[in-house]
Homo-oligomer: A and B are copies of this chain.
Amino acid sequence: MQYSSGDGGLGGQVEEAAYSPALPRDVSSPCVSCDVRTQAVCAVLSDEELNGLASLTQTNTYEVGDTLFFEGDTAGACFIVQGGALKLYKLLPDGRRQITGFLFKGDFLGMTPVEEYGYTAEVLEPVKACSLPSEKMQALVETYPKLSNRLLNLASMELAVAQEQMLLLGRKTAQERIASFLLWLSRRAEDRGESANPVRVPMSRGDMGDYLGLTVETVSRSITKLKTSGVITLKEGNRIEITDLDMIEAIAAGDGA
- Residues on A lying within 8 angstroms of B by beta carbon are 90, 92-94, 96-98, 100, 111-114, 118-119, 141-142, 145, 148-149, 151-153, 155-160, 162-167, 169-172, 210-213, 253-255
Contacts and interface: CB of A to CB of B under 8 A. Distances in A.
A255 B93 contact: yes
Contact of A212 (B90, B96, B157, B170): B170
B254 A167 contact: no
Contact of A149 (B90, B100, B148, B171): B148
A105 to B, nearest CB: 20
23 contacts: A90-B164, A92-B172, A93-B254, A93-B255, A94-B254, A97-B171, A98-B166, A98-B167, A112-B156, A113-B156, A118-B160, A118-B163, A145-B145, A151-B152, A152-B155, A158-B159, A159-B159, A162-B162, A162-B163, A162-B165, A165-B166, A169-B170, A170-B212
B92 A254 contact: yes
Nearest to A138: B149
Contacts of A160: 112-114, 118
B253 A113 contact: no
A207 to B, nearest CB: 13
Given A92-B171, A253-B93, A255-B94, A100 B166 contact: yes
- Count of identical protomers in the assembly: 2
Nearest to A111: B156
Given A93-B255, A148-B148, A149-B148, A98 B155 contact: no
Given A93-B253, A152-B148, A167-B98, A157 B113 contact: yes
A167 B92 contact: yes
Instruction: List 5 tightest A-B contacts by C-beta distance, closest first.
Output: A170-B213, A145-B145, A169-B169, A162-B162, A92-B254
B169 A166 contact: yes
A112 B160 CA distance: 8
Given A98-B167, A155-B159, 8 more contacts: A90-B166, A92-B171, A94-B254, A94-B255, A141-B149, A148-B148, A166-B169, A170-B213
Pick the most buried of A148, A162, A166: most chain B CB atoms within 10 A of its CB.
Answer: A166
